[in-house]
Structure 1
Amino acid sequence: MSATSADDAPVRPGTAAADWLLPALGGAIFLGGWETLVRLLGVPKFILPAPSLIFETLVKDRASLLEALGFTATITLSAFVLAMLSGIALGVALTQNRMVERTFWPYAVMMQVTPVIAIAPIIVIWVGLDRVWLALLILAWLVAFFPILSNTAAGMKSVDHGLSNVFDLCGASRWKRFRYLQLPGALPYILAGARISSGLSVIGAVVAEFVAGSGSATGLAWVIVESGSLLNVPRMFAALFLLSAFGITIWLVMSAVQRALLRRWHESELAREN
């Protein structure tokens, strides 16, 4: 019998549709139950608004909410890109020299375990109140940086020893070993770290806005703070919905990138019969 490639593997009918329909059905049931309970129990809108009221607020205040989303998205995506570039570069550098790794790895861990909310006021003071966006970018980067760094370092160290011996026998240069052995082997780890970091960059941007706040930040986090002080709970939920939708979008994009880069050769993305 001839072997079947991953691209020729049969796809069970309805599998792809079920991946979307089942979550959509569950969400519809949840929102329907939420709407029904709020109306039946007469829950005040400043405690728990109905989904219909949240949607109405989202449509009515769409201009200001989308503007706030643009600010938060800019900080988030900028921090994510910086985390990717710096995390991969430093992760590679740490694994190429044992002395460099021993010197700098403890400081990288220290950055990770230090609560961002504790150092946020210091960062804001250092960059100045006239450049709060820079403070938000730094804080969001700090949150998103470590998963990329640690996963890159783990991937670079996870090279198959048998293949490494083959490269030694062939007298491969350091550059060829990195390009053809270490980097491809580390790619699944890097992409997994990128998926984690993409979500953390959103969290980092929101936490940074909460801390910086004081009206100087204009993102969705500040909208939530401002709406809460005015007991405008439907607007709070509308902002939360946009944040969640934005975070899910980033995660789906990174999942698609991972699937596109790994689906032809890595076990995690190869098609299975069952």
Structure 2
Amino acid sequence: MINDASVIQPNIDKRTSIASHLGFKILAPVVVGFIFLIIWQMTCVLMDVPTYLVPTPTVIAVQLFQDAPLLLGSLGATLKITLLAFLCATILGVAIALLFVQSPLIEASLFPYAILLQVTPIVAIAPLIIIWVKNMTAALVLCAMLVALFPIISNTILGLRSVNPGLTNLFRINRASRWQTLVRLRIPSALPYFFGGLRISSGLSLIGAVVAEFVAGTGGSGAGLAYQILQAGFQLNIPRLFAALLLITLTGIVLFGITDWIARIFLRGWHESQL
């Protein structure tokens, strides 16, 4: 007879180790960041660095608090472009990857152009997109989407092709249709690769949105953080510039964390990356 305690105890130990591991992953970078901020603060104070060159973290924090309504409003505008671009890149990237996998001829014909989009600097084509697309929001979303599209396409294609040959033969022996093979074998096998591309594209969507805003130079009530950075640079308001950069950085970290959390939900319990 199996003792219930002997079954429960390993599960408790596993959960404890997972919790401690997650706590370490959170605590370690926080400690490193705190040490970095202390060194930054002490260096600026001891060397009497002017605020218009490099402000101290405390000055940046005060500026962020004072300009919170302005900067948070601009963050909302940038985040809107980022999320729309990320959503469009995810849907379009998965659709293209599925199409490429089903038709090698289409992949051979069109995949080089996907690579071309990846290696072409968005700064070079963003002015043309802004001129051609009359709606400014749509133009910015398109620019950011082009930056974030390729990782999803390439990673999803890699995942759809990285299927265990034994399982492929098993499906073939049982006369599974192409649709059944895709839904029950290829797509589950591609999920770890897809989420890897999703993590990359979340940050690239934000980068693409900021770069597009820099090129467009849109101001007014719908101005994004890139416009606030440009204005702060022109006005030599360096603390506000650093505060805007801080918001962009924190937004990128949050987006990465959300995509990583979603990946854990889908992959937890069956894929080795989350065991």
Asked if Structure 1 and Structure 2 have the same fold, meaning a TM-score greater than 0.5 normalized by the shorter chain, the answer is yes
2:189 aligned residue:
185
Q: 1:113 aligns with which of 85, 103, 119?
A: 119
Structure 1 counterpart of 2:81, one-letter code: I
The question of 1:266 aligning with 2:271 is answered yes
User: What do you get for the CA RMSD once the two structures are aligned?
Assistant: 2.0
Quick one: structure 1 residues 95 and 5, their matched pair in 2 at CA, closer, same or farther if it must change by over 3 Å? farther
Alpha-carbon contact 1:78-1:137 (below 8 Å) kept: yes
Query: What displacement does 1:17 show?
Result: 2.5
Instruction: Show CA shifts across 1:143-185 (max 9, x none).
Output: 0000000111111111111111111110111111111101001
1:166 maps to 2:162: no
1:36-55 maps to which residues of 2 (within 5 A)? 36-55=42-61
**Quick one: distance in 1 between partners of 2:207 and 2:197?**
15
User: What fraction of aligned residue pairs are identical, expressed as a percent?
Assistant: 44
Structure 1 unaligned blocks of 5 or more: none
* Structure 1, 6-15 or 195-204: larger mean CA deviation: 6-15
Paired residue type of 1:211: V
Partner of 2:37: 31
1:205-220 matched pairs, under 5 angstroms:
205-213=209-217, 215=219, 218-220=223-225
Distance in 1, matches of 2:173 and 2:71, equals: 60
2:272 partner SS: coil
Residues 7 and 189 from structure 1, CA distance in 2 versus in 1: closer, same or farther, beyond 3 angstroms?
farther
Provide the residue aligned with 1:221 in structure 2.
Answer: 226
TM-score, with length taken from structure 1: 0.93
Seen in structure 2, the aligned counterparts of structure 1 residues 102 and 8 have a Cα distance that, compared at 3 Å, is farther
TM-score (norm 2): 0.92
Correspondence for 2:151 among 141, 147, 150: 147
Question: Which structure carries more helix by proportion?
Answer: 2
CA–CA distance in structure 2, aligned partners of residues 126 and 80 of structure 1: 21
1:246 aligns with 2:251: yes
CA distance in 2, matches of 1:194, 1:255: 9
How many positions carry a matched residue from both structures? 268
Structure 1: distance between partners of 2:37 and 2:178: 56
Structure 2: segments with no counterpart, 5+ residues: none
Aligned match of 2:205: 201
1:135 aligns with 2:129: no
Deviations 1:75-101 (A, max 9, x none): 001000100000001101100011111
SS of match in other structure, 1:46: coil
- Contact 1:6-1:264 at 8 Å conserved across structures: no
